[in-house]
Structure 1
Amino acid sequence: MSNVHPFRVLRAKRLWIVNGMVVGFVALLFAVFYVGANIDPAGHLHKLPVGLVSADKGVNAGGKQTDLGAQIVQSIKKSSQGEDKIDWRVMDEKEMKEELSKGKLFGALVVPSDFTSSVAALAGTEASGDAVRPTLTVLTNQSAGSVGSSMARQAATTAAQSASAQVGKQLTTQAKATQAELPAATLLLLADPAEVQIEDGHPLDSHSGLGLSAFYYSLVLVVCGMLAANVISGQVDHALGYTHNDMGPLRIHNPLLRATRVQTLAISSTVLARDHVVRGQSCRHVGAAAEGAGRA
C-alpha cells in the first residue's frame, strides 16, 4: 500500500483545472441558452401571432355606410407595416376562437358588432351622464404561454388605446364643426371614447398551473433524470465491485465482477427503464389523487 496521504491529491493542478473548466463551461451554456433566452423576451420578439377581429356591422347615416371597425383594422395593419414584432392576423370570430384553443394565437383584439352604432350614439349624446362608452375587447391566451400572452395583451391594449384616440379625433372634429357648446366632461369622453376590456380568450383548467404545467413537467423530468442517472450509475458500479459504498462510518465493498462498459451500460439502462416504469405509475396515482381531491 502507498504511504501517500489521500489529501495530497488536492495538490494536483489537473484536478482543479479540469473540474474548473468543465463546471465553468456548463455554467456558461446555462447562462447563454437559458438565462439569455429569457432575460429580454420583448427585445427579441419576432412575429408574435395576435388575432385582429372586426365584427362591427357599421351604421348607415345619411345614405353613407360607416364602419369604424374596418377602419380600425386597416389602421392597425398599416401602422404595423415595417415592424416584425407583432404578426396581426385578420380573421373572423369563429376562426379566432379555434386558433386560440389550438394555441396558435397568443391573444386577440376584437371590435364588437355594435361599435360604430355605440360611437354614433355617444356622439349624439348631449349629457355625459347618459353616455355609454363603446368597448374594444382584448383577449388573452394563457394556455399558449404566460410570457407570450402577456406581450400580446400589451400589444393589443396599446393598439386599442391608439384606435380609441383616433376615433376620438374624428368625434372631436365633428363636435367642433357643429359649433355646439358641450360640457368639458363630454369633450373629454369624446376624445377617448372607447373602453378597453381585457378578458380571457381561452380559460385554463383549474389544475393547469396557470399555463406553466408543461414547463414544470419538463423541469421535473430533467431533474429526476439527472438524479436517477447519477444514483443508478453509482449503484451499478458498486454492485459490480468497481466502487465502494459509504454509509456513514461504514464502507461496503462487493466482490469485483468484471464487466465490459457495454455490459455495464446495458445493466444501467435496464435498471433505469424499470425505475422509469415505477415512477410513471407513481406519478399517475398521485395525479389521479390530486384530481380527485380537487373535484371534491
Structure 2
Amino acid sequence: MAHDTDSPGSRFGPRVWLAPSIVVTIVMAVLAAMYLGGMVSSSDDIDDFPIAIVNADAGVTNPAGQHVNVGGQIVDSLHKNVDGDVFDLRTLSLAEAKAEMGQARIYGAIVLPSDLSRKLAALSTEAMSDGAVARPEITVYTNQLASASIVTSFSDQALARANQTVGEQLITDATSPQATDTSRDRSLSGAAHLILSDPMNIQVTPFQSVPDGTGNGMSAMYYALLLVLAGFTGSLIASNFVDARLGFIPTEMGPIYRLEDNSGHSRLATLTMKWALMAGLAVVVSTVYLGVAAWSGMPLEHPWTLWMLSVLAITAVAVVVQSILALLGGLGMVVNLFLFIVLSVPSSGGTTPLEATPSFLRFLASFEPMHQIYLGTRSVLYFGATWDSGLGRAVIASVAALGLGIIVGCIGTRSYDRKGLLRRHTPATVQA
C-alpha cells in the first residue's frame, strides 16, 4: 500500500525544515565568530608586527672625551625591552625604511635624528638659562595606507620609556659635581626639571598623506570586495539563468513557474559555457567598476592595470565558484559562501593588519582569495602598482586559482559525464 505523500505531515515534517535550520545556524554562527572575533582583536593577537628603527644620530663627544650616541642607546633599549615575537623591529637606514613603507612591507618607522645626542647634551645648559630651549625631535612615520594605527600606540609607549630614561640621565648629569661650577647651586628650578624630564619631542606624521577620494585608505578593501562579489554573486546569478534556459531547473518569476525541455547538454559543456559567460562578464563588470570609480572621484593613477587585474580576479573567482557548483550541486553554494565570504572577508587584512589579528585569520589569509586580491588593489591604488608591493602576489594567486579551477572542473565534470550521471529529473519511487 502506498503512503499518502500529500498529507500535511509528510510535506512539512522534519525532512523539510531540519536540514536548512542546521545549515543556516552553523553558517551564521561561523559568520559571527569570524567577523566579531576578527574585529574585537586585542594586543595579545599582535604577532611580528613590522616597524623600522632608523638611527641617524651622529653622536657627540662629552666633556670627559667620551663619544656618546644616545640614538644607539635608545635602539639597544628598544630591542632589549620589546618582545620580538610581538613586534618585528628592523634597524634600517632612512632610505631603506622609506622603500619598505613604499612597498607596504612595514607599517611605520621611528627616526632618530642626526643631532639627537648633540641637542640633548646642550639641553642641560639651555634648561638652566633664560634663553630659548631646543628639544631634539624624534619623527614617527606611520604608513596610513597600510592600516598602521598600531604604530602610533607602540611609539607612544616605547618612546615614553625612552624619554623618561634619557630625562633621568640628563637630570643626574646636570646636578652632578662634575657638570656644575662649585659656585653654582646644583639644584634645578622647577622649569628646568620639567624640561629635562621630558627632553625629546615626539612628532607623529604620515609617511604619505591619504589622498582624497580613497575613503581614508579604505577604497582598496572595498574595491577588492567588489571584485570578489562580482565573481561569487555573479556566478550564482548566471548559473541559475543558464540552468533554467537549458531545462535543468525551473524558471520562477512571481506566480509563473516554467520548466524548459531538458537540453541534454553534458556537465562539462554546461560548465564551459558558464566559464565563457563569466569571462565575458568580467570584462564588462571591470569596465563598469572603473567607470563608477572615476565618476565617484577615486584617484586612478594606473587605470589599465586596475582594469586588467579586475578582469583576472573576477574570472578566477568565477571559475572556482562555477567548478564547485558543478561538482557539489546545491552543497556547492554553501561551500562557496564559506570560501569567498564567511572566511574570506575577515582574513583580508583590509580593515586590520593581519599581524594584529588572531593566528587563525593569518592562516586563512595565506590562501583565501580576498586577501590576495586586496593586496593587488592596494598596490595599484596606493603604492604605484609595483610588483613587490602586492600586485605580483595578486596576479600569481589569481592565475593559480584560475588554472586549478579549470583543471578540477574539467576532470570532475568529465568523470560525471562518463559515468552517465546526467542532469535529468528522476521521479522518486514510492515503495508500497
Q: Deviations over 1:61-111 (max 9, x none)?
A: 32222221111111111212x541111111111111111111111111111
Match of 2:249 in 1: 243
Q: Where does 1:8-87 land on structure 2 (aligned, <5 Å)?
A: 11-62=12-63, 63-80=65-82, 83-87=84-88
Q: Is the Cα–Cα contact under 8 Å of residues 100 and 202 in structure 1 kept in the other structure?
A: no
Match of 2:414 in 1: none
Query: Can you give the 5+ residue segments of structure 2 that lack an aligned partner in the other structure?
Result: 302-432
RMSD: 2.7
Q: Where does 1:172-191 land on structure 2 (aligned, <5 Å)?
A: 172-177=171-176, 178=180, 179-191=185-197
Counterpart residue identity of residue 271, structure 1? L
Q: Is the Cα–Cα contact under 8 Å of residues 108 and 156 in structure 1 kept in the other structure?
A: no
Please give the secondary structure, in 2, of the residue aligned with 1:287: helix
Q: Is the Cα–Cα contact under 8 Å of residues 164 and 197 in structure 2 kept in the other structure?
A: yes
Question: Which has the larger displacement, 252-261 or 82-91?
Answer: 252-261
Residue 236 (structure 1) shift:
1.3
Q: Where does 1:148-187 land on structure 2 (aligned, <5 Å)?
A: 149-177=148-176, 178=180, 179-187=185-193
Q: Is the Cα–Cα contact under 8 Å of residues 136 and 160 in structure 1 kept in the other structure?
A: no
Please give the secondary structure, in 1, of the residue aligned with 2:44: coil
Q: TM-score, normalised by structure 1?
A: 0.86
Q: Quick one: higher RCO (CA 8 Å, sep 6+), 1 or 2?
A: 2
**Aligned sequence identity (%):** 31
The answer to whether structure 1 residue 220 and structure 2 residue 226 are counterparts is yes
Residue 184 (structure 1) shift:
0.7
Q: TM-score, normalised by structure 2?
A: 0.60
Q: Aligned pair in 2 of structure 1 residues 168, 38: CA closer, same or farther (>3 Å)?
A: same
Match of 2:239 in 1: 233
Match of 1:138 in 2: 140
Q: Deviations over 1:30-59 (max 9, x none)?
A: 344444334215221111111111111222
Please give the secondary structure, in 2, of the residue aligned with 1:282: helix
The 2-side partners of 1:49 and 1:293 are apart by 28
Q: Is the Cα–Cα contact under 8 Å of residues 46 and 84 in structure 1 kept in the other structure?
A: yes
Structure whose residues are more often strand by fraction: 1
Q: Aligned pair in 2 of structure 1 residues 3, 26: CA closer, same or farther (>3 Å)?
A: closer
Query: Can you give the 5+ residue segments of structure 1 that lack an aligned partner in the other structure?
Result: none
Residue 205 (structure 1) shift:
3.6
Q: Aligned pair in 2 of structure 1 residues 259, 73: CA closer, same or farther (>3 Å)?
A: same
Please give the secondary structure, in 2, of the residue aligned with 1:124: helix
Q: Aligned pair in 2 of structure 1 residues 102, 194: CA closer, same or farther (>3 Å)?
A: same
